[in-house]
Structure 1
Amino acid sequence: MIDTLVLTRRSLRHILRSPDTIVTTAITPVAMLLLFVYVFGGAIDLGGDADQSYVDYLLPGILLITVASGVAYTSYRLFLDLQGGIFERFQSMPITRSAPLWAHVLTSLVANLVALALVVLVALLMGFRSGAGPLAWLGVLGILVLFTLALTWLAVTAGLAAKSADGAGGFAYPLLFLPFLSSAFVPTDGMPGPVRWFAEHQPVTSIVDTLRHLYAEQPLGQDVWTALAWCVGLLVVAHLLAMRTYRRRMSAC
């Protein structure tokens, strides 16, 4: 634990010396938020829910895009550390073998939470409002933390397996595209049959619907259990895959 905390402070110092990383992570989601609310929002039918503003409907999907954008930097920074040879030096030191990976994961969590806070702040300035209580917002935070950890461990695997810096960061592009095939931007009711089936059975839809219901103080139904199952399942699989890739990479050094 001490090894992980020391290495996490090292990674966080790199972030503090380059705060534009967090700002850049938030720029794309904020730009999408502005574009969809002010350009496309008036033409989007929310399925008869006239009381809900589009910024309230859109925010959960933008938050997930923020995380997908942010974890790309984790993969990139991990790749740079590997190329710089620092992992080989860690191998010769009396520290926990997984501590360097956990340091990158915790740094990603902190950086993404800051970026998420920036996006929520912009949404508030654009008119986002919620009457949800502290417990509901803790639920939102918990799901976002699980989702961030799951994607971060996927980013760790990508960083360990990448052959170039572009490849390390490029793995996130499919993750950025996935919310567009979900209920993040529009209800799934008007989608063609096969597209609708995919949208309703992929993880993003259940997660954004759960976040939406939490801060709108609506009944959660089955969505919350589906969202938790996706988040926890992805987290477990991604962690196991990352550790296996790490052991294979270090044994080859």
Structure 2
Amino acid sequence: MKTIQTLKDVLTMSGRCLLLSKRNPDTILTSIIAPILTMLLFAYVIGGAMQTGETSYVNFIVPGIILQCLGQCAATTAIAVCSDIKSGIMERFCTMPVKRSSILNGHVREAFIRNMVTALLILLVAFLIGFRPEADLLGWCAALLIISLYILTLSWISVYFGMIANSPEGAGSFSILAIALPCISSGFVPIDTMPKALQIFAEYQPITPVIDSLRALLLNESLKTCTLLSAILWCTVLLLLFYILSVRAFKKKSNH
């Protein structure tokens, strides 16, 4: 019974967050309009100057565009969490007969749904302008699982920064890093075309194995086991770390 009640509370909280998102023009901008414009910008404005070997530039950049746009969307979650704290509504929820865990999980579930829609929208737009994936069913399933894991990781990072931010305006500032990291990776240009110092950073930062895994799965290319394991390990470690930090920050806030 407790598990069923917890699930009901999570559904209620995430439903509330979804309603607030639909009424927020910034959410529509970051989740729908910005990803479309980003895809078109890189494909038509920048793509002509890029050399990616035998792979077309549209095929090459799709994983990087997905991760960069998910980074843009992460700010929405952080701002929503911080706004709930500053308005006092989160404190009010803590006094109500709902599972406290459902409060943060509601934000995470809403972020997962919204960001997954964004990722699928990018894939649709990419397909319309020339993206031609060659993945089989297993490849698509694996790619979607990696995207899902990345979204969950980014969502808990967003929740944590929303918890510790001093204002809603500052809560989303961390997303600058989530937007910038795909640019200094294999997302938009081959790593071997970068200056040596950037090559070293791009090779070992957490975004690169995620992008390389997605690209290999979607294009049905050879995928090194170490690359896939690195992507999963990076996401899992960061997910667990920021989940723990978020729960601790929430307990600290709710006990005041």
Same structural fold, with TM-score higher than 0.5 when normalized by the shorter chain: yes
Question: 1:26·1:66 contact (CA, 8 Å) conserved in 2?
Answer: no
- Tell me which residue corresponds to 2:162: 159
Distance 1:76 1:142 in 2: 26
Displacement, 1:23? 4.4
Taking the aligned partners of 2:42 and 2:10, their CA distance within structure 1 comes to: 40
Match of 1:138?
141
* Aligned-pair CA distance for 1:205: 0.8
Candidates 219, 227, 234, aligned match of 2:238: 234
User: Partners in 2 of 1:17 and 1:9 — Cα distance?
Assistant: 13
In structure 2, distance between residues paired with 1:58 and 1:182: 11
Partner Cα separation in structure 2 for residue 36 and residue 95 of structure 1: 45
| Selected match of 2:96 from 85, 88, 93 | 93
Answering whether residue 245 of structure 2 is matched by residue 247 of structure 1, we say: no
Distance (whole Å) between structure 2 residues aligned to residue 24 and residue 194 of structure 1: 32
* Structure 1 residue 92: Cα displacement: 1.3
**Equivalent in the alignment of 2:114:** 111
Q: Structure 1 residue 216 and structure 2 residue 222: aligned?
A: no
Moved over 6 A (4+): none
Q: 1:41: which partner in 2? A: 47
1:16 to 11, 22, 25: 22
* Structure-1-length-normalised TM-score: 0.94
After superposition, what is the alpha-carbon deviation per residue over 1:216-243, rounded to whole angstroms, capped at 9, x for unaligned? Answer: 1112112111111111111111101111
CA RMSD, Structure 1 to Structure 2 (Å): 1.5
Task: Describe the SS at the equivalent of 1:172.
Answer: helix
Instruction: In structure 2, list runs of 5 or more residues that go unmatched.
Output: 1-6
Alignment of 1:206 with 2:209, yes or no, is: yes
Count of equivalent residues:
249
Name the SS of the counterpart of 2:97 in structure 1.
coil
Equivalent residue letter for 2:15: R
1:126 aligned partner: 129
Normalization by structure 2: what TM-score? 0.92
Tell me the amino acid that sits aligned with residue 12 of structure 2. V
Query: More displaced, 162-171 or 8-17?
Result: 8-17
Q: CA deviation at 1:54?
A: 0.3
Is residue 36 of structure 2 the alignment partner of residue 30 of structure 1? Answer: yes
Query: Equivalents in 2 of 1:87, 1:29: separation in Å?
Result: 30
Offset at 1:170? 1.5
**1:53 aligned residue (48, 53, 56):** 56
C-alpha distance in 2 between matches for 1:58 and 1:178: 14
Superimposed CA distance per residue, residues 1-49 of structure 1 (whole angstroms, 9 cap, x where no aligned partner): 2211121122222233447624432333332222222122122121xx3
Q: Is 206-215 or 4-13 further displaced after alignment?
A: 4-13
Structure 2 CA distance for aligned equivalents of residues 174 and 100 of structure 1: 26
Compute the displacement of 1:168 (Å). Answer: 0.9
CA deviation string 1:48-69 (max 9, x = no partner): x32x210000000000012111
Runs (5+) with no aligned partner, structure 1: none
2:4 match: none
Q: Distance in 2 between matches of 1:170 and 1:127?
A: 33
For residue 171 of structure 1, give the secondary structure of its aligned residue in structure 2.
helix
Identity %: 39
Which shifted more, 209-218 or 161-170?
Answer: 161-170
